[in-house]
Chains A and B, each alone.
Chain A
Amino acid sequence: MGEVKKIKNLKEFSTSADRFEGANLLCPGCAHSIIVREVLNATNDDLILASSTGCLEVCTAVYPYTSWDASWIHIGFENGSTAVAGAEAMYQALKRKGRLKQPDRSTKFVAFGGDGASYDIGFQWISGCMERGHDMMYIVLDNEVYANTGGQRSSATPIGASATTSPAGRKSYGEKKNKKDMVAIMAAHDIPYSAQVAPNKWKDMVKKIQHGLNVEGPVFINAMSPCTTEWKFDPKDTMMISDLATDSLVFPLYEIIDGHELNITYRPKHKVPVEEYLAAQGRFKHLFKAEYKHMIKEWQDRVDATWEYLQRREEARV
């Protein structure tokens, strides 16, 4: 285990030397890079990184450039998880045989994937990594859509969102199914740590990433990543949308230890109505038409029910 980087406050955090570089081709205001920066800056350990195909990968490895200052590999859409798991398995083998070139250094293994790559296409690969017990962290950059290919729905797209393959119109309010609970599914693998994070809560993020990197075994993190292009909001508003998401409890922040012990890590002082979160994004615009307005109540009721469930789980300590 490496020494945990001391980050008492934001001023101290700002002395970090970024290992992720600019002039990548992510959209202005993209939350993927805000999340990646917070994750990478949470540690000074050596990093072995992978990305699945998606906005983050495509925009940070445009030949002849790389935007990564740590070892980074891309193979395909479905296998960011196994790319890192393979490297980790090799590392453990070399360690066992006493053949590590720099045995004194602390090395961590982290894979990034989009929701499409994680909730859908790389699902069984991640499940395999969690089940086999690799000492690695898997982070979903959850922008609730296949952003890199033009906004197709994934199983992380929430009900009522208009996506290119579930468009809203005269006959439809958009996506018909609500997103699946990926954190619960991963926690059910009995892994030591799983959590949901958001870029606006940088301190909560850093705490969870540091905990996850220092625990032994597989760790799963679902990171909310507001997408200016597909959620349809102004690039300057990424953090405002993030605040609305966490303060309306559409994206509750919590962690699950050893597959069962649930802790809520953020309780908004002033709970914001879900309607405000929906109204701030073009992908939900149609829900404010008379014929689809019932969906707004459906949203609020569902978010309230999930919050109730999380609180009961937390109290029960089971």
Chain B
Amino acid sequence: MAEQGWDEFEIGAMLRSFNGEAKDVALTLQEDRDYSSNNSFTASVADWRIEKPVFNKDYCIDCQFCWVYCPDISIISRDKKMIGIDMDHCKGCGICVEVCPTNPKSLLMYSEQTDEEQALAAWPSKDEGEK
């Protein structure tokens, strides 16, 4: 289905989100799902970004504000801990940085080409941290 062109697909056809039978999706984490190639999860919007968020877990208090307010399901939280950012689906909106309550922030925006190691090494300290 995914490979068919716009003039080849069946009108009224159904797109399947998963391969085969999908049971209890609401209880199955993304990494345990068998996504079909029609699921936008398999696509990337990484090239939309001009700026990207960088995560510094040293300051993170796992409040999960970034998780709940990220529009693009790009904050990866497992077992109540924020563990990273899904860079295939993050559009670089910057909401996660705005809602992060720590000082200094545990998330900051950098230009897309910034080296993450360098950003982390030069992370602002508490005083100059609050934007």
CA distance A60 to B73 in the complex (A): 13
Number of cross-chain contacts by CB at 8 Å: 150
Is residue B26 within 8 Å, beta carbon to beta carbon, of the partner chain?
Answer: yes
User: What is the minimal beta-carbon distance from A62 to any residue of chain B, in angstroms?
Assistant: 8
Q: Which residue of A lies closest to B50 (CB)?
A: A28
Measured between beta carbons, the chain B residues less than 8 angstroms from A69 are 17-18, 22, 25, 33, 39
Q: Kindly identify which residue among B65, B80, B89 contacts A15, using a CB–CB cutoff of 8 Å.
A: B80
B54 within 8 A of A: no
B59-70 vs A, CB cutoff 8 Å, 1 = contact: the mask equals: 000111101111
* B43 / chain A contacts, CB cutoff of 8 Å: 23, 65
User: Given A28-B48, A65-B15, A235-B94, are A199 and B2 neighbors across the interface (CB < 8 Å)?
Assistant: no
- Per the bound structure, the CA–CA distance linking A32 and B48 in Å amounts to 18
Given A11-B80, A64-B1: A22 in contact with B26 (beta carbons within 8 A): no
C-alpha gap A21/B98 in the complex (Å): 22
Q: Do A14 and B45 touch (CB < 8 A)? A: no
**Does A202 contact B68, Cβ atoms closer than 8 Å?**
yes
Taking a contact as CB atoms under 8 Å apart, the answer to whether A21 and B39 are in contact is yes
Residues of the B chain whose Cβ atoms lie less than 8 Å from the Cβ of A70: 25
Residues of A within 8 A of B29 (CB): 17
* Complex CA distance for A15 and B68, rounded to whole angstroms: 11
State whether A37 and B93 are in contact (beta carbons under 8 Å apart), knowing that A17-B29, A65-B15 are contacts in the complex.
no
Which of B71, B88, B98 gathers most chain A CB within 10 Å? B71
Binding stretch for chain B, among A172-180, A237-245, A285-293, A308-316: A237-245
Chain A residues closer than 8 Å to B99, beta-carbon distance: 239
Contact with B along A12-41 (1 / 0, CB 8 A): 111111111111111011111110011000
Query: Which single member of A10, A19, A28, A66 contacts B68 (CB below 8 Å)?
Result: A10
**Nearest CB in chain A: distance from B81 CB, A:** 9
Q: Does B40 contact A (CB under 8 A)?
A: yes
Instruction: Pick the contact of A235: B26, B79, B95 (CB < 8 A).
Output: B95
Q: Knowing A14-B64, A23-B89 touch, does A66 contact B69 (C-beta < 8 A)? A: no
- Cβ–Cβ contact B40 & A60, under 8 A: yes
Q: In the complex, what distance in Å separates the CA atom of A17 from the CA atom of B95?
A: 21
Contacts of A18 in B (CB 8 A): 30, 73
Q: Are A17 and B39 in contact (CB under 8 A)?
A: no
Q: Which of A211-240 contact B (CB under 8 A)?
A: 234-240
- Can you list 9 pairs linking A and B with CB atoms under 8 Å apart? A11-B80, A14-B77, A22-B88, A23-B40, A25-B45, A34-B70, A37-B73, A69-B39, A239-B69
